[in-house]
Amino acid sequence: MKQKDLRTYKRRSVTRTSGFHTCDETTGGECLIKKAQAFNMHEDRVTFKFRRSGLVLTELFDKGNGMLAFGGYIYTNKPLTISFLLKYTMNGRSFEHQKDYMGPVNVNDWNNIGFHKEISSDYGETVELATVEMTIRGEANTCLQFISFDFGPVSKEEYIGDVFGKPFYQKTAMHIPYLYYLETTKPFDTYLLGNIELSSGNIVVLKSCNRCGRYLPINIFNEVNTLSFSLHCKKRAPCVHSTFRAYNIQNMDDVSMTDLKQLQVENGKVVSYHGHQLECKACKKFFVNAPLNPQRNPQQFKEDGLRRRAIEVLVNRLLDRNLVHFEFEHRTKKEFSEYIWKKFGGRCFKCNKKMPLDEMHLDHTMPLAYLYRLDESATCLCGTHNAQKSDRFPSDYYTEDELEHLSKITGLSLDVLKSKGVNQTVLKLLVDNVVWFYDEFLKEPEYQKIRGGIRTADKINDSLKRVIEGQVDLAEEYRSRTGKYPTTVTIVKTV
Ligand SMILES: [Zn+2]
Ligand SMILES: [Zn+2]
Ligand SMILES: [Zn+2]
């Protein structure tokens, strides 16, 4: 039997609400009562295959990688193991990624499951075809139930730029699947292939988040095993705080009396014993707990990414124009990555964790903002430590022993590793090519574009100005050659 009724719920509006403002539509005090979709395992294993095509990736965090994610909530009445196999094609090339679900599986209860795969932007931005095979192994006649599954690219606006990279890579596994910000009200069989017979399962209460506006499951029959919201009164239950304990049912017309009787309902509201937080755990992790600068909005994160890439391009062009080649110039990025990965024994330099090549994060070693390009002196780091190091100088991040070790691996002298200043070679090239920099490089339409009231070229110019402060004044340098100030940036002269 197909769960037609699951398709009738109101979809949220297409425009996503920014996590920086509380959501207009939801206060955290609303809920939907839904039915899970159930499947009876006839044998000791079953594979569910999901397929999507034409997925456009969003470049996330400071590396600008895309990300595909799959996940949802599963209930089982017997022990089982779960594994995932992702296959996808980009530009005609095929890739595979295998992932086992590592956490313990709660029996006779709900479990959060899912995984993600980062995809380098080098392969393009569109995934032509992607499938996920979710294989469940257990005993025959295990009854499985599913709710809030989705499969697609991660496109959370605030994940663009470098600010959320650090919290994202910390304790990621604990926050699957809700940290992907996928949809939560799609039927389980939305992308499911084949003839899989699903039936109607238990009722599940989906509560709203007042930040992201999503409806996410709460574990109303066993609240202490939280799913996507933390409890309000964990020890001093019952929760007596009206804002946190009862949730207005938004789809009363779709709910049968029999279903309703299983819940404690007061005045059209589902009552929770412990009460729940207003924000989902993802919004709590990213927007409430993370120490962030509240002045920055999603638009600014995007600009930061753009500026970072502009500086990368600038440094590369300056070196290329002047025939300062490095060993890997004519090889592919993959060969380069592999070289660095091998050099570090396939381990994160900071925590020594072993990782496959495609999970390595290449770190510049010396910061890009100070005009150091990604070259053979790069460091192999895991996601967590790459986000942690960010644009810091090695001497601000590593211990004395680590610096010595890093010097041996990278070939950079200890003096260089301990130095904190702009790359003098590139700075000299920039000064030599200052007319080109203003009249050609910054003239590109992309950099002349005004974003958030500010010309992008001004931002690039300002971030260079900050790091070379006291050494060179580029605009003056330009004027000494041409007799005028550059027009591709806004010059404010203080008298
Ligand atoms: Zn949320
Ligand atoms: Zn409470
Ligand atoms: Zn690490």
The beta strands (E) that lie in 5-64 are given as: 30-40, 45-56
Is 298:160 a contact under the CB 8 Å cutoff? yes
- CA–CA dist 176, 458 (Å, integer): 39
Is 147:73 a contact under the CB 8 Å cutoff? yes
Burial label for 442, CB within 10 Å (0-12, 13-18, 19+), is: buried
pLDDT of 36 reads 98
Mean per-residue pLDDT of the chain: 87
* For the CA of 20, the nearest ligand: 1
* For the CA of 16, the nearest ligand: 1
Nearest-CA neighbor of 363 among 385, 346, 342, 347? 385
Expressed in angstroms and rounded, the spacing between residue 234 Cα and the centre of ligand 2 is 8
Give me 93's structure tokens: 């090339």
Residue of higher predicted confidence among 426 and 16 = 426
Expressed in angstroms and rounded, the spacing between residue 338 Cα and the centre of ligand 1 is 38
* Residue 136 CB contacts under 8 Å (≥ 6 apart), including other chains: 41, 45, 46, 47, 48, 80, 81, 82, 142, 144
pLDDT of 350 reads 94
pLDDT of 183 reads 96
* Residue 226 CB contacts under 8 Å (≥ 6 apart), including other chains: 218, 219, 281
* For the CA of 223, the nearest ligand: 2
* For the CA of 386, the nearest ligand: 3
Expressed in angstroms and rounded, the spacing between residue 353 Cα and the centre of ligand 3 is 6
Is 457:464 a contact under the CB 8 Å cutoff? no
Express each pLDDT in 147-163 by its tens digit.
Answer: 999 999 999 988 887 77
Domains in the chain with CATH codes: 4-289 (no CATH), 323-424 (1.10.30)
Expressed in angstroms and rounded, the spacing between residue 285 Cα and the centre of ligand 1 is 9
**Which pLDDT band holds residue 331 (cuts at 50, 70, 90)?**
low
Expressed in angstroms and rounded, the spacing between residue 250 Cα and the centre of ligand 2 is 22
* For the CA of 243, the nearest ligand: 2
- CA–CA dist 380, 365 (Å, integer): 9
Expressed in angstroms and rounded, the spacing between residue 462 Cα and the centre of ligand 1 is 35
Express each pLDDT in 29-58 by its tens digit.
Answer: 999 999 999 999 999 999 999 999 999 999
Expressed in angstroms and rounded, the spacing between residue 18 Cα and the centre of ligand 1 is 10
Expressed in angstroms and rounded, the spacing between residue 211 Cα and the centre of ligand 1 is 5
pLDDT at 494 over 80: no
pLDDT of 290 reads 54
Expressed in angstroms and rounded, the spacing between residue 37 Cα and the centre of ligand 1 is 23
Arithmetic mean of pLDDT, 373-383: 89
pLDDT of 292 reads 45
pLDDT at 320 over 80: no
* For the CA of 383, the nearest ligand: 3
> Which H helix or E strand runs over 459?
helix 456-468
Give me 348's structure tokens: 């994160």
Expressed in angstroms and rounded, the spacing between residue 206 Cα and the centre of ligand 1 is 12
pLDDT of 57 reads 93
To the nearest 10°, report the CA torsion of 212, 217, 220, 226. -80
**What letters, b where the CB count within 10 A reaches 16 and e where it falls short, cover 333-350?**
eeebbeebbebbebbbbb
* For the CA of 239, the nearest ligand: 2
Count of CB atoms within 10 A of residue 123's CB?
A: 18
The pairs formed by 188-196 with CB atoms below 8 angstroms and a separation of 24 or more are 188/37, 188/72, 188/146, 188/147, 188/149, 189/2, 189/37, 190/149, 190/150, 191/50, 191/51, 191/52, 191/151, 192/48, 192/49, 192/50, 193/49, 193/50, 193/51, 193/131, 194/49, 196/39, 196/48
Arithmetic mean of pLDDT, 455-483: 92
Expressed in angstroms and rounded, the spacing between residue 164 Cα and the centre of ligand 2 is 29
DSSP class of 24: S
Is 153:10 a contact under the CB 8 Å cutoff? no
Compute the chain's Rg from CA coordinates.
26
Give me 199's structure tokens: 């039936």
Expressed in angstroms and rounded, the spacing between residue 381 Cα and the centre of ligand 3 is 6
Expressed in angstroms and rounded, the spacing between residue 332 Cα and the centre of ligand 1 is 40
Express each pLDDT in 475-490 by its tens digit.
Answer: 999 999 999 999 999 9
**Which pLDDT band holds residue 334 (cuts at 50, 70, 90)?**
confident
- CA–CA dist 209, 378 (Å, integer): 41
Arithmetic mean of pLDDT, 13-42: 73
Give me 466's structure tokens: 């900050």
Range with lowest mean pLDDT among 139-143, 320-324, 381-385, 392-396: 320-324
Is 133:84 a contact under the CB 8 Å cutoff? yes
Express each pLDDT in 179-192 by its tens digit.
Answer: 999 999 999 999 99
- CA–CA dist 60, 305 (Å, integer): 9
Expressed in angstroms and rounded, the spacing between residue 83 Cα and the centre of ligand 1 is 27
Expressed in angstroms and rounded, the spacing between residue 287 Cα and the centre of ligand 3 is 24
pLDDT at 2 over 50: no
To the nearest 10°, report the CA torsion of 209, 213, 215, 221. 10
**Which pLDDT band holds residue 307 (cuts at 50, 70, 90)?**
confident
What's the distance, CA 406 to chain centroid?
29
Q: Which value does ipTM take for this structure? A: 0.68
Residue of higher predicted confidence among 436 and 383 = 436
Q: How far is CA 326 from CA 316, 361, 367, 374, in A?
A: 10, 20, 18, 10
Q: Percent of the chain beyond pLDDT 70?
A: 89
- In total, the chain counts a number of residues equal to 495
Expressed in angstroms and rounded, the spacing between residue 341 Cα and the centre of ligand 1 is 36
Please state whether 303 falls in left (phi above 0), alpha (psi between -120 and 50) or beta.
alpha
pLDDT at 14 over 70: no
Expressed in angstroms and rounded, the spacing between residue 70 Cα and the centre of ligand 2 is 32
* For the CA of 379, the nearest ligand: 3
Expressed in angstroms and rounded, the spacing between residue 270 Cα and the centre of ligand 2 is 15
Expressed in angstroms and rounded, the spacing between residue 229 Cα and the centre of ligand 2 is 13
pLDDT of 13 reads 35
* For the CA of 279, the nearest ligand: 1
Expressed in angstroms and rounded, the spacing between residue 370 Cα and the centre of ligand 3 is 23
Range with lowest mean pLDDT among 279-283, 304-308, 441-445, 482-486: 304-308
Arithmetic mean of pLDDT, 311-327: 72
Count of CB atoms within 10 A of residue 236's CB?
A: 10
pLDDT at 20 over 70: no
Expressed in angstroms and rounded, the spacing between residue 368 Cα and the centre of ligand 1 is 33
Arithmetic mean of pLDDT, 256-264: 95
460: three-class secondary structure by DSSP: helix
Range with lowest mean pLDDT among 22-26, 126-130, 196-200: 22-26
Q: What angle do CA 419, 346, 353 make, to 5 degrees?
A: 85
Is 304:451 a contact under the CB 8 Å cutoff? no
Is 90:126 a contact under the CB 8 Å cutoff? yes
Nearest-CA neighbor of 38 among 79, 3, 71? 3
Expressed in angstroms and rounded, the spacing between residue 244 Cα and the centre of ligand 2 is 6
Helix then strand then coil, in percent of the chain rounded to 5, is 30, 25, 40
Expressed in angstroms and rounded, the spacing between residue 432 Cα and the centre of ligand 1 is 51
Expressed in angstroms and rounded, the spacing between residue 14 Cα and the centre of ligand 2 is 33
- CA–CA dist 486, 113 (Å, integer): 55
Pick from 23-37, 80-94, 383-397 the range whose average pLDDT is largest.
80-94
Residue of higher predicted confidence among 249 and 493 = 249
